[in-house]
Structure 1
Amino acid sequence: MFPAASLLTTLLLAMSIAASPVEVRDSPITLPIARRLNTPSGTINLLEHDQARAASLKNVGTSTLLSPTEAVSYVAAVGVGSPATTYQLIVDTGSSNTWVGANTAYVKTSTSVSTGQPVTVDYGSGSFSGTEYTDTVTLGSGLTITAQSIGVASTSTGFTGVDGIVGIGPLDLTEGTLTNEQTTTIPTVTDNLYTQGIISEMVVGVSFEPTSTTLSTNGELTFGGTDATKYTGTLAYTPLTTTYPASYYWGINESITYGSTTILAETAGIVDTGTTLILLASNAYTKYQSATGATLDRTTGLLRVTLTQYDALQNLNFNVGSNTYALTPNGQIWPRALNTYLGGSNSYIYLIVNNLGTPSGEGLDFINGQTFLERFYSVFDTTNARVGFATTSYTDATTN
């Protein structure tokens, strides 16, 4: 027989193992995603779009929802119907409804079923309204979800060059979007993948790579697990924050330092594929501007540094739990080859860190947007209520 102490140790170890979330790796369900710059007027205003989205995110419960940045978006080809029509949909972790019809009209097939329910989502700088259908949705190489709720837009604004959104945010974000059912939620794509037995864990892995072109297939969604070929080292997880309103989204707690200087003490914010820039509470943004010596560029609204100041930039460190994710100087600047799409000058160096527009202490004090996610692999894990990060081969890239 085991001595009592050994038995207790064994039991405690077993309990510890049982309580630890099991990581699902190398899911076969992958969906390529492409970064697209939409410039209908020749230039884009990143800051205007991102700040409009941030304001809508913070006002959850008073304004309807939030706005994915249509100026710079990550887009996936998603099939709807049987035979499927392919739609170019923005991939958005900050909203959860999936809908089509902004550009390419919805094509009804034998799998299309109207529920007759009106559906409306106001995204701050865009919106859609129409009718809810259920239909077959195809992701990647022939993987299908049956009876997925989708919105079919009769009207939409703010979605130039794309057909709608595939929402991979938390389920609660769908509440109230059915006009006649204000307390009803709608199962998301991730929910249905799980309930229909296509994936065994409600996990989405997201890989982006830095790019200096206006249209590039430089990303991948992995449903049901993670793709170990897309990151280096070990994935580290942090629990979702309980601080409102960040807790309504993929919210986490982190602190941010520039070099060894703290510019934002530990607080709640969100990780968001629908925001392009990294946005910091206004007091942290002021500290960052002062530390870098950057000046405000009135044309673009972005901070600008000289070549000498760029050479002196220090790492911007995102401290999450016991882990630090260092954004290198090159990772803190907009790709210089794309300066003119901002209305800027080829000879300038613009920073991708900007002002959230409100001070810290309001429950959503930072947004780690696309420019953060292009340097770190991310995992959105509903099953275990956590977000994970890992370094990639592009964490220290000098492509900008």
Structure 2
Amino acid sequence: MITLLGLAFLSLVAANPVIIDRSPVTLPVALKLNATGVKNIVERDVARAKALYAMGKGNRLQKRHDFHTKIENQMFYYLAEVGIGNPPTTYQLIVDTASSNTWIGNGRSYVITPTSRPTGSEVGVSYGSAQFIGNQVLDQLILAPGKVIANQSIGVATDSVGISASDGILGLGPVGLTLGTLFPAVDETIPTVVDNLFTQGTIDAHQVSVTFSPSNQISNVNGEITWGGINRDKIAGPVGFTPLTTASPSNAFWGFDQTIRYGTSTPILSQTAGIVDASTTLILISSDAFTRYRNATGAVLDFNTGLLRITPAQFANLQSMFFTINGVTYEFTANAQIWPRALNEVIGGLPSFIYLITASIGAPTGQGLDFVNGFVFVQRFYTVLDTAGQVGFAETRDTRSTVN
């Protein structure tokens, strides 16, 4: 029996978007914090954002002769245990909402079974936190008992760096991100796991939903991923959908347009394009928006963590941030804006300090990827990734949690 151990892990909208309540594949999600990874999570997230920018512009392939770059480990892992082959071998894969290739071989080696079908092609991807190159095979992939994907494209790594405590990656991004990752057919896309679940009739809607709960523990089963629809038990209001943005390079990912303000009247970020990405830890915003946020909060930069720091008195007066997406406003409370204080020392901070989780993306507004709503945002808002050309968000019971 295949069980989920955890997850790594984000056109015009129809007048009445279809929400599928019944989803046949719903899996629990476990958060694991990589205590041995990079201490400065701002540096790690900014490095990932730069890599995503390059990927969105078409630089997705990692050439073998370039395969020497040292990549820092990411701060959080969301690991899914899947089965591959028949009889299946289990692999723990990081679930990534901003990449689309599925590959194994970083830890446990690929086991050839009668369902294995080598294609003779090579496949490779460079990420902000990892990279791999290897051989493509087609094989069955089991997500849950009775939920089998036939002939799923899987990369079998011959070289990989930047990944620890996992066997590879399970990609949940749009299929277009696979373009240029296959040798020699660099002009072909590779059907993703979500694509094959839908085309093979396992799920009713071509979408995947992700939800987490805020946590102040290093390891915690705190959410779930739902393939093919939403779980209404996890939301506390309607799902607000927005069209995918047309701005490059955000349009290569789960990208959309939004504005951000602080409190009732302080503009932070004007209407611009960015993405949701559960494998980015923080909220990243353009450098000019970050300056406005820092000035509004009165925070100072903490050089040990790279994060902004505020005093207890400033936290008592900290106002909500408001994200407006396609006319719907989502309130990001004061508590949502701070790093869990029980985990301060994990990121190199002091137990008594209060750190904010909004950081600069490292470039001014107008680059086509001006924000990343990272894991800390997905913790507060149910997130629906829909290949029909839209993303959706909804409040949950944890939207106003004070667990931090």
The residue aligned with 2:7 is none
Whether the 8 Å contact between 2:304 and 2:349 is mirrored in structure 1 is yes
Structure number with larger C-alpha Rg: 1
The residue aligned with 1:153 is 157
Whether the 8 Å contact between 1:68 and 1:275 is mirrored in structure 2 is no
Question: For residues 147 and 224 of structure 1, what CA distance do their matches in structure 2 show?
Answer: 19
Q: Are residues 1:56 and 2:40 paired?
A: no
The runs of 5 or more residues in structure 2 that have no matched partner are 1-12, 63-70
Whether the 8 Å contact between 2:284 and 2:372 is mirrored in structure 1 is yes
Alignment of 1:198-217 (within 5 A): 198-217=202-221
Aligned partner (choices 291, 294, 297) of residue 289 of structure 1: 294
Aligned partner (choices 176, 181, 184) of residue 177 of structure 1: 181
Question: For residues 304 and 326 of structure 1, what CA distance do their matches in structure 2 show?
Answer: 21
The residue aligned with 2:66 is none
The residue aligned with 1:28 is 24
Give CA deviations for 1:11-67 in whole Å, capped at 9, x if unaligned. xxxxxx9863321113121122211111336x6321121101101112233632799
Q: Which amino acid aligns with 2:110?
A: Y
The residue aligned with 1:6 is none
C-alpha displacement of 1:322: 1.6
Aligned partner (choices 263, 266, 286) of residue 268 of structure 2: 263
Q: Which amino acid aligns with 1:261?
A: T
**Structure 1 ranges of 4+ moved more than 6 A:** 65-69
Question: For residues 194 and 228 of structure 1, what CA distance do their matches in structure 2 show?
Answer: 20
Q: State the TM-score, normalized to the length of structure 1.
A: 0.92
Question: For residues 157 and 82 of structure 1, what CA distance do their matches in structure 2 show?
Answer: 28
Distance 1:18 1:179, change over 3 A: closer
Question: For residues 308 and 141 of structure 1, what CA distance do their matches in structure 2 show?
Answer: 52
Give CA deviations for 1:117-150 in whole Å, capped at 9, x if unaligned. 1111111332111100111111133311011001
Give CA deviations for 1:233-265 in whole Å, capped at 9, x if unaligned. 111101111111111110000000000211101
The runs of 5 or more residues in structure 1 that have no matched partner are 1-16
**Secondary structure, in 3 states, of the residue corresponding to 1:262?**
strand
Question: For residues 205 and 175 of structure 1, what CA distance do their matches in structure 2 show?
Answer: 23
Aligned partner (choices 327, 331, 356) of residue 332 of structure 2: 327
C-alpha displacement of 1:68: 10
C-alpha displacement of 1:101: 1.1
Q: State the TM-score, normalized to the length of structure 2.
A: 0.91
Q: Which amino acid aligns with 1:170?
A: P
Alignment of 1:217-232 (within 5 A): 217-232=221-236
The residue aligned with 2:313 is 308
Q: Which amino acid aligns with 2:357?
A: I
Give CA deviations for 1:282-318 in whole Å, capped at 9, x if unaligned. 0001110111111111011011111111111000110
The residue aligned with 1:110 is 114
Question: For residues 228 and 157 of structure 1, what CA distance do their matches in structure 2 show?
Answer: 38
Q: Which amino acid aligns with 2:101?
A: N
**Equivalent pairs, count:** 382
C-alpha displacement of 1:106: 1.5
Question: For residues 227 and 362 of structure 1, what CA distance do their matches in structure 2 show?
Answer: 35
C-alpha displacement of 1:395: 0.4
Give CA deviations for 1:256-277 in whole Å, capped at 9, x if unaligned. 0000211101100001111110
Q: Are residues 1:84 and 2:80 paired?
A: no
The residue aligned with 1:3 is none
C-alpha displacement of 1:225: 0.7
Aligned partner (choices 179, 190, 194) of residue 194 of structure 2: 190
The residue aligned with 2:41 is 46
Distance 1:32 1:69, change over 3 A: farther
Identity fraction in percent: 50
Q: Which amino acid aligns with 2:312?
A: L
Superposition RMSD in Å: 1.8
Question: For residues 285 and 124 of structure 1, what CA distance do their matches in structure 2 show?
Answer: 21
The residue aligned with 2:367 is 362
Q: Which amino acid aligns with 2:304?
A: T
